[in-house]
């Protein structure tokens, strides 16, 4: 596995790996990897001849009061995990390598969809996400890129950016990987105390209860959101920030709720902010 830390090293590695007729799969990450990330590497391997990943904690997508400085990092561990999973190339740049002129003057505007759900509570977040993804696509020129469906709104916006700006990259969504008790895997789960970790699966429990109600025929938005609210209200450690049932493309609330709609939520477990979602499917 090649580890490239500069643009020059990356270009040299790509020249040897991404030859004509070979598809390049790409998995962007912020590191501190878990099985969810590694499943995306597997998905890329199924669709490409060469698999590249990046590890970069992108400062543009963190707000002033968010956890940029404390975000978990362990590059040595991540590299071992990626090599064991069969990645061919890892791009591991410093901030100065990604943004050599400092904070970029030109960024990618996510448009109105970036102001909903996560965007309503994290102003500027998706501008930072789309800007760094566009830069990484420019640097690696992948044929296919894989993103986790746990970050549902991020996936929607990246798909839209790639399509509307004609970036020529196939975008694939990888299924959310969960712990045995249902909690969606996340690097931020490492922040949770034992008591918080025990309470956190209530997020998934509420979503699964809502999905079960939908499968039984319930189509009212309020009735579907009720078990989610109830699950979180059952623990003093959990504080719901938002929960909505939305169209999977327009991200607008829907009622009555059709098959394929998504329930998306964000909640604080102690001081740790967690997100999750479920796609509603008829039985």
User: Cα–Cα distances in Å, from 175 out to 34, 41, 101, 219?
Assistant: 14, 12, 36, 24
Q: What DSSP element (H or E) covers 245?
A: strand 238-246
CB 182 within 8 A of CB 208: yes
Residues recorded for the chain: 283
Please pick, among 18, 34, 37, 121, the residue that the annotation labels catalytic: 37
CB 232 within 8 A of CB 210: no
End-to-end Cα, the chain, rounded Å: 44
Question: Is 34 assigned a catalytic role?
Answer: no
Please choose, from the candidates 23, 168, 174, 185, the residue with its C-alpha nearest in 3D space to the C-alpha of residue 88. 23
Cα distance between residue 37 and residue 181, in whole Å: 19
Residues acting as catalytic residues: 37
């Amino acid at each position: 596995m090649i580890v490239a830390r500069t643009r020059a090293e990356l270009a040299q590695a790509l020249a040897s790996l991404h030859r004509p007729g070979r598809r390049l799969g790409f998995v962007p990450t912020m590191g501190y990897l878990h099985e969810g990330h590694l499943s995306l590497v597997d998905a890329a391997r199924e669709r490409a001849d060469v698999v590249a990943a990046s590890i970069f904690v992108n400062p543009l997508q963190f707000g002033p009061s968010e956890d940029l400085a404390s975000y978990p990092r362990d590059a040595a561990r991540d590299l071992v995990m990626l090599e064991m999973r069969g990645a061919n190339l890892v791009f591991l740049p410093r901030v100065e390598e990604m943004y050599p002129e400092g904070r970029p003057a030109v960024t990618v505007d996510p448009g109105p969809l970036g102001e909903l759900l996560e965007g309503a509570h994290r102003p500027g977040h998706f501008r930072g996400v789309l800007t760094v993804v566009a830069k990484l696509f420019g640097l690696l020129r992948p044929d296919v890129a894989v993103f986790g469906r746990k970050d549902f709104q991020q996936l929607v916006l990246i798909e839209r950016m790639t399509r509307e700006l004609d970036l020529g990259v196939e975008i694939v969504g990888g299924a959310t990987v969960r712990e045995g008790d249902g909690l969606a895997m996340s690097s931020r789960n490492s922040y949770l105390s034992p008591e918080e970790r025990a309470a956190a699966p209530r997020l998934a429990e509420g979503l699964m209860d809502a999905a079960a109600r939908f499968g039984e025929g319930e189509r009212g938005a309020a009735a579907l959101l009720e078990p989610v609210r109830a699950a979180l209200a059952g623990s003093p450690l959990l504080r719901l920030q938002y929960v909505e049932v939305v169209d999977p493309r327009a991200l607008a609330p829907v009622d009555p709720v059709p098959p394929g709609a998504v329930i998306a939520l964000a909640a604080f477990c102690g001081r740790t902010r967690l997100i999750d979602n479920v796609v509603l499917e008829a039985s």
